[in-house]
Each structure stands twice: as structure tokens, then as C-alpha cells.
Amino acid sequence: MMVAEFLLGALSPRWRRARALRSARVLDDVVDSQVASLPLLPAELRRRHADHLAEMVLLAQNYRHYAKGWITRRELERRGRAALLRLEEPGGLGVGATHRR
């Protein structure tokens, strides 16, 4: 782990890592605040809402991976764009929507 932390300092400035972790925490907070409302929604909306929250959880995890130096900024941006496209799909997220396209 020390090797990864040492390399990380050379690859990404500390402020970018901190900002990525803050972004992940914001996404976590949004998910935490919304997950309690799932049982209150009608069934057809519940699944779509749950899929959107799951997508946000995955995006938060991507930010954490970037902060640890496991993925590059370019890869984080690619994954973020892909997540937004899946979230904006008409009809909601389909089966297997969390997989790469």
C-alpha cells in the first residue's frame, strides 16, 4: 500500500485527490438522503429510482478509485460521461445498464 501511495503523489496532486473524495462523499450523501424514499414510491418508479441511485453509488466508487490512483483522470471522465448517458436514457436504465458499453 505504501508503494501505491508513493506513486499516487507523483501522478495526481493532493488537491485533486481531496476533491475527488469530496465528490464521492457528496454523491453518497445524495444517495443516503434519497434511499429512504424508495418504499414510498409506486413500483414502476421505485425500480427506476433505485437504478439511478445505484448508478450514483458506482460513480462515487469511481471517484474513490481515482483518488487512490487506480484509474486516471481520463478514465474517471470517461466513466462519468458513460454514467450520465445511462442516467439520461429515455425509459430509464435498462437491464445490464451498469456494464460498460
Distance from C-alpha of 59 to C-alpha of 77, rounded to nearest angstrom: 10
Q: What is the pLDDT of residues 37-92, one digit of tens each?
A: 999 999 989 999 999 999 999 999 999 999 999 999 999 999 999 999 998 987 65
Whole-model pTM: value is 0.76
**C-alpha cell recorded at residue 18:** 481531496
pLDDT value at residue 95: 45
pLDDT in tens, 4-30: 444 544 566 888 999 999 999 999 999
Q: Higher confidence at residue 39 or residue 98?
A: 39
Instruction: Give the pLDDT band (50/70/90) at residue 33.
Output: very high
